Amino acid sequence: MMNDATKIDCLNVVVYVKNVVLGRGLEAVLRILPRVGQVHHCTTRPAVDQAVAEGEVDVLIVTSAESAIAAELAIARHRAKVLMLLDEQEASGSSLVSAAGADGFLIQQDLTAPDLAEVLDRMMLGEMPMPVRMGRELLARAGAPTPAGPTRGAVLTPRENETLVLLAEGLSNKQIARRLSISDHGAKRLVTSVMLKLGAPNRTAAVVIAIKQGIITAA
């Protein structure tokens, strides 16, 4: 895993966290990671917008309080990945609805250098790291009754439906491949197909859209 990561250019990371203590702590952890290059702590939205517009950001780290910028980046299709930090009490599927633009999630209380390094690696590989409890909550919500009314859900194949459920559990492509007994390439192809059919910019959004459309069934 680490060998694959070293083949990729160092990441420029912007931390947009208004809590100064948390922001400085993140900076300190990021600076010791071999995968990370430049680290900037922005305290204002204009500063973040300027950095993103100039193409200097590979990863933007925010808290749920700044979730709006995650959705905006997803819509604008900027190349920056968004890592959202959640408080332990926020680590539930309900947090995902307001953060569909995020590419990965990490609980603040679990913030260690190894965990952060793993999450960054998985995000840059196109995966969607997510706390297990959040995946379980998503599945529970997916099994709840959906509001009455006409909906136009995407038509997925049985294999794509299986993939979608595993995405909701927060599994990586490698884990999906292992669970479905297919190659890593096959898992990546299925994940891409699911996102395209749902019109989702990332894996997180795909799960949220699927829940809203009532596609995912309870495990």
Per-residue pLDDT of the chain (219 residues; tens, 9 = 90+): 344 433 457 899 999 888 888 888 899 999 999 989 989 888 888 888 888 777 778 898 988 777 677 667 655 656 788 888 887 766 655 555 455 567 788 888 778 899 899 889 888 877 777 776 666 665 555 555 544 444 456 788 999 999 998 988 878 888 899 999 999 888 988 988 898 888 877 777 788 788 878 887 544
| Distance between CA atoms of residues 7 and 142, nearest Å | 39
Q: Report which of 97, 65, 56, 112 is spatially closest to residue 84, judged by C-alpha positions.
A: 65
Amino acid letter for position 28: A
What is the three-class DSSP state of 136? Answer: helix
What's domain 136-213's architecture?
Answer: Orthogonal Bundle (1.10)
CATH topology for 2-125 is Rossmann fold (3.40.50)
| Distance between CA atoms of residues 148 and 205, nearest Å | 22
Domain ranges of the chain: 2-125, 136-213
